[in-house]
Structure 1
Amino acid sequence: MTVEPQRTKTGFQAIRHDTIAWKLYLAYDIFMMLIIVINLICISSNAFLMSHIGAWVFEQLHLSHILQLYKTELNPWVIKTENWFIVFLIIELFIRWLIAIVQKHHQRWFFFPFIHWYEILAIHPYLRFLRLIRAGIIAFRLHELGYHVVPSAMLKQLKFYYHVLMEELSDRVVISVIDGVKMELDTSSTHKRIIHDLVDHHREMFATTLAQVLQESLATELKAQQNLIAENVGHVVVKAIEDTPELTQLLRLIPIVGGRIEQQIHSIGQRLGENITHGLVQPLVTGSSTTPNAQYQRIAEKLSQINIENRSLEQLVESVVYESLESLRKQVAVKQWQLKLEKNDQLKE
């Protein structure tokens, strides 16, 4: 009779741990855990003693008469006790189901057997090992409440093996899926269509990401180098003026003020080049990573709409897809539990 929170119209009520009812539930959980463990120990011991291996062991120890006494006197009682225990589990299950219906532990009255499926299956003699699940759940709940019925070292080992099992199962599933995808791409005649659909599905995301990258990288660098670029462009304009001999010859024909005018033209050319550069660069440095400027958005949109009906581009996309799948497969194949074991061994050393 596990402690289950009662459901109300507003949700689940918190269970008070200072009530007599809760203490009774707790005592009953402990009682059930103990008798389940004792029952399984008795059944396991009986199976061993009644087997050929047990007979051989006792024969080697010259204790065959004790084994014979057990078979004739105690074994029938073990069988009767198991039958009584099965009857007790059936009655106890129906009582808890009735309590769950009355106290509305679940949204529907028939949810109880589905939630406690392992208890129903554990009633069958051939599935009695499932009773360990209930004992384990009770022990875990008691551990969460602060009652360390399971030693910490054992609990740590159980968690480790549980994670090992889950990792191995999940890794097998993921690797099988990846291999299936690769096989489908290799053998299917429609794999190009799949890749095209994949690209088409991510065009908008690609455009948004590219605009943000341009804003964060190109705009930042242009803003940092804006003055230097403007100064260099100014020098280029001045150099262009100096490399125009017709203008130089014309200015030298003007007496007295020709040299002065030439200097002014150089200065004007320098400032003109700088101002033009600032005017061209300024629109490219505005905006932010969250709201890129219009120029970068247009560039990103044009690039995202590129036609991938091109053999070289198709090979590039295929290579990216295959290498991504292979990288994912290698990462999944890494045994994290082995790395953890090696780390623990190194710490012990």
Structure 2
Amino acid sequence: MMLPRFQNIKSPLNWLSVMTDLLMLGLTVFDLAWLMFDALYNTNMVKKIVDPILPFYESIHEDFYFYDGIIVSIFIVEFSVRWLIAIQQKVYAKWFFYPFIHWYDVLGCFPTSSFRILRLFRIIGLTYRLHRWQVIDLNNYALFTTLTYYYNIAIEEISDRVVIKVLSQTKSEINRGQPLNEAILSQVLQPRQKEIAELIGQTLQEGIRAKYPQYQKLLEKYVVKTVENTVINNPEVQQIKRIPIVGAQIQETLNTATSQIVFGVVDQLITDLSAADNQPMITLVTESILEVFLQPQANKSTELTNELILEVIDLIVKRVKVKQWKAL
């Protein structure tokens, strides 16, 4: 049973809104039940059953539109008051948006059989409003969770189709030769060139500080081995090696000293790159590289950029086509 939880209502204005919603919900349920009963009363079988029990209902049936008009008048007054409140609280951007958004309330006020069924949407809207007020909790009901599940599926399918349509149009623009990549460079990347350079520089320095200590010994071994091979194969060093007695020792000393000097220079350079004091210099160098990279491109470079953009779009489309709701 759906039991209200009025302890969640604090403000007197909220109390008034909730009580109005409950009253209109009850009136709408009564109205729809009456509409169904009156429609069945038109059949001879139901009329023969009802007349002995409710002999006065025949006169009510004859004036049904009058009584229904009273209920519709209440609906119109309630709708008008809510519209005025929405205007006063600036709920929507324009004052005339309210009837378009609540179109089912407007059409449901028409006293014709084809529009009366739309009053069912009033029940749905009022019930969901009470759910948002936390007066009732629809999550405890299987029907609501089932409808929510299929609603989310429908929204995902629609949004996926919209995204795929937009990306497909983007691909068509690129294939037709429209300068989308130039627009991206001039309107997106170039205005943020300084911020991008700072981000790249900070990321580079953080990466060096985090990873270089792990690979410092490995780099030292590589430098030592490379210098050793270079020194050994150097013709002048080979002539020094031929000096009797001290030639080999001189070569080894020269090899060690050269390795230490080269590695010291490389190690100091990498350490300086990660120093916070050198961040402006790193940013300046990165910004200079970006400035060259973001200049209008040659034909081959443009073709490459277009191919990269198309491949990225294909990858995004492939990802969008994955039905996330099937994985639930």
Deviation at 1:215, TM superposition (A): 4.9
* Structure 1: 5+ residue stretches without partners: 1-14, 51-63, 253-257, 341-349
Is 1:139 aligned to 2:132, yes or no? no
Q: For 2:302, which of 302, 305, 314 is the aligned residue?
A: 314
Shift of 1:41: 4.1
2:9 corresponds in structure 1 to: 17
Equivalences for residues 273-292 of structure 1 within 5 A: 273-288=259-274
Q: TM-score if structure 2 supplies the norm length? A: 0.69
Alignment of 1:130-209 (within 5 A): 130-148=118-136, 150=138, 152-187=141-176, 189=177, 191=178, 193-200=179-186, 201-202=188-189, 204=193
Inter-CA distance 76–171: structure 2 relative to 1 (3 Å threshold): farther
1:333 to 321, 325, 328: 321
Indicate the residue corresponding to 2:237 in structure 1.
244
Kept in 2: contact 1:214–1:296 (CA 8 A): no
Do the aligned residues in 2 keep the contact of 1:238 with 1:270 (CA within 8 Å)? no
Aligned-partner Cα distance in 2 for 1:244–1:194: 58
Alignment of 1:86 with 2:72, yes or no, is yes
1:234–1:271 Cα contact (<8 Å) kept: no
Amino acid at match of 2:222: I
Instruction: Map 1:288-299; keep pairs closer than 5 Å.
Output: 288=274, 294=281, 298=285
The aligned amino acid for 1:27 is M
Other-structure match for 2:220:
227
2:44 matches 1:65: yes
Number of residue pairs matched by the alignment = 299
Secondary structure of the 2:9 match is: coil
Deviation at 1:280, TM superposition (A): 3.1
Cα distance in 2 between the residues matched to 1:173 and 1:289: 48
Contact 1:33 1:135 in 2 (8 A): yes
* Contact 2:153–2:325, Cα closer than 8 Å, also in 1: yes
* Distance in 2 between residues matched to 1:23 and 1:303, nearest whole Å: 60
Q: 2:21 aligned to 29, 48, 55, which one?
A: 29
**Cα pair distance change 1:90/1:144, threshold 3 Å:** closer
Kindly provide the CA deviation profile for residues 208-239 of structure 1, in whole angstroms up to 9, marking residues without a partner as x: 66656655667845645332234224523652
Q: Distance in 2 between matches of 1:76 and 1:339?
A: 57
**Is contact 1:216-1:288 (8 Å) kept?**
yes
Deviation at 1:270, TM superposition (A): 0.9
What letter is aligned with 1:35?
A: L
Structure 1 residues 198 and 146, CA gap change in structure 2 (3 angstroms): closer
- Deviation of residue 33 (structure 1)? 0.9
The Cα shift of 1:303 comes to 6.0
Q: 1:302 aligns with which of 271, 283, 289?
A: 289
1:294/1:224 CA distance change after superposition, 3 Å: farther
Identity percentage over the alignment?
19
Give the root-mean-square deviation of aligned CA atoms.
Answer: 4.4
CA contact (8 A) 1:36 1:135 kept: yes
- How far residue 157 of structure 1 moved from its aligned partner, in angstroms, is 1.5
In structure 2, how many angstroms separate the alpha carbons of the residues matched to 1:48 and 1:115?
35
- Tell which deviates more after alignment, 15-24 or 305-314: 15-24
Contact 1:122 1:129 in 2 (8 A): yes
